[in-house]
Amino acid sequence: MRDLLRGAAPATRREHALLLRRDGEQTPIIDTAAPIRNRDGFLIGAVLVFHDVTVSLNLARALSHQATHDALTGVPNRREFERRLRELLARPDPASHVLCYLDLDQFKIVNDTCGHVAGDELLRQITQLMRGHLRAADTLARLGGDEFGLILQGCDLEPAVALAQRIREAIADFRFAWGERSFGIGVSIGLVPVAAHERDADTLLGAADAACYAAKEAGRNRIHVYQPDDRHLLEQQGQMQWVSRLQSALDEDRLRLYVQPIVPLHPTPGERPHAEILVRLEEDGQLIQPGAFLPAAEPRWPPQTAPLVAGQTAPGRTVEL
């Protein structure tokens, strides 16, 4: 307004301001000022117009929230989770952080038995249950389906494992009631300490996902702490690479079948001949023996379980209490 009265050109404020009313309420506004001149062109005053932008501002906030948060549970979505993780990794501070990947066990049973409405309600209740164990600085997000991510900011590995155990025990003790039915579920959790030299978000997310998968493979409802030299994770990652190679081989018709006769030591007259069919994988003109790729193609059920030590958790170990 003062600049306008000094002869400056009229302008419209681009950002909103807050108008303080007499009753103490604040209203977001956009203000526009225009000069008032007499017949001779002399500036004799100005007119100031306030436009209430409460509705448009609330709409913009709602759209921003919808773009960054999961509509079902109200927690951040995968996109916002990854943004916050990258923002945290970009900081130069040496504080310790832990990244967690959580996958609900037996969720599909509820979804298939009672329908998606029950599954949605279960996800809402589980989300509130987990949020009750977190600090204000922690970030819980729904990454998709029944999978969640958790950033424990400024947290060392030992208290992070203890927090994960409390979440695991709370979910294991939880009973979801739907109609006359009651369901118990569990959660498999993979933890990755964020090292000072590791600042790649995709690498950390992949490691946390692999650790969670290892917890499921070891019997579910467990916690697995990732270590780069973890033998079980290395085997699992190797087999997952074989899965894509096998799929490519199927698409490109590179599986080769071989037949060898089965000859009895004591043949019986009139007995029909038998044969064994063998499979090989061809890559770059070389034949790969089945022992290298068949373990990745075979179903992993029932999952193999490892010896458990009650009350102990060590890096690279999967435990259940």
In whole angstroms, give the CA distance from residue 109 to residue 132.
25
What sign for the dihedral angle of Cα 104, 108, 113, 118?
positive
Residue owning tokens 């990755």? 192
Residue 49 sits in the same domain as residue 99? no
Asked if residues 164 and 118 have their Cβ atoms less than 8 Å apart, the reply is no
Domain extent at residue 31: 2-59
- The answer to whether position 69 is within a domain reads no
Give the confidence band of 167 by pLDDT, cuts at 50, 70, 90: very high
Residue 223 sits in the same domain as residue 246? no
Q: Does 223 have pLDDT greater than 50?
A: yes
**What integer is the mean pLDDT of 121-132?**
96
pLDDT digits (tens, 9 = 90+) for 103-118: 999 899 998 999 999 9
Residue 78 sits in the same domain as residue 211? yes
Closest CA to 49 of 17, 22, 9, 24: 17
Give the confidence band of 307 by pLDDT, cuts at 50, 70, 90: very low
pTM as predicted: 0.62
**214: alpha, beta or left? (left if phi > 0; alpha if psi -120 to 50):** alpha
Residue 289 sits in the same domain as residue 312? no
**What integer is the mean pLDDT of 8-29?**
73
Q: What CATH number does the domain containing 127 carry?
A: 3.30.70.270
Residue 55 sits in the same domain as residue 105? no
Q: Are strands 147-152 and 97-105 parallel, antiparallel or unpaired?
A: antiparallel
Which DSSP symbol is given to 220?
A: S
Q: Which one has a higher pLDDT value, 99 or 32? A: 99
Residue 175 sits in the same domain as residue 288? no
Task: Supply the pLDDT for residue 315.
Answer: 42
Q: What CATH number does the domain containing 51 carry?
A: 3.30.450.20
Residue 156 sits in the same domain as residue 27? no
Task: Supply the pLDDT for residue 95.
Answer: 80
Q: Which one has a higher pLDDT value, 142 or 239? A: 142
Task: Supply the pLDDT for residue 13.
Answer: 60
DSSP β-bridge partners for residue 36: 45
Residue 287 sits in the same domain as residue 308? no
Residue 118 sits in the same domain as residue 217? yes
Q: Which residues does the annotation mark as catalytic?
A: 146
- The answer to whether position 66 is within a domain reads no
Residue 244 sits in the same domain as residue 187? no
Task: Give the count of domains, the chain.
Answer: 3
- The answer to whether position 52 is within a domain reads yes
Cα–Cα distances (Å) from 64 to 59, 213, 286, in that order, read: 9, 33, 54
Percentage of the chain exceeding pLDDT 90: 36
- The answer to whether position 233 is within a domain reads no
- The answer to whether position 280 is within a domain reads yes
Task: Supply the pLDDT for residue 184.
Answer: 92
Residue 115 sits in the same domain as residue 220? yes
- The answer to whether position 150 is within a domain reads yes
- The answer to whether position 43 is within a domain reads yes
Residue 250 sits in the same domain as residue 271? yes
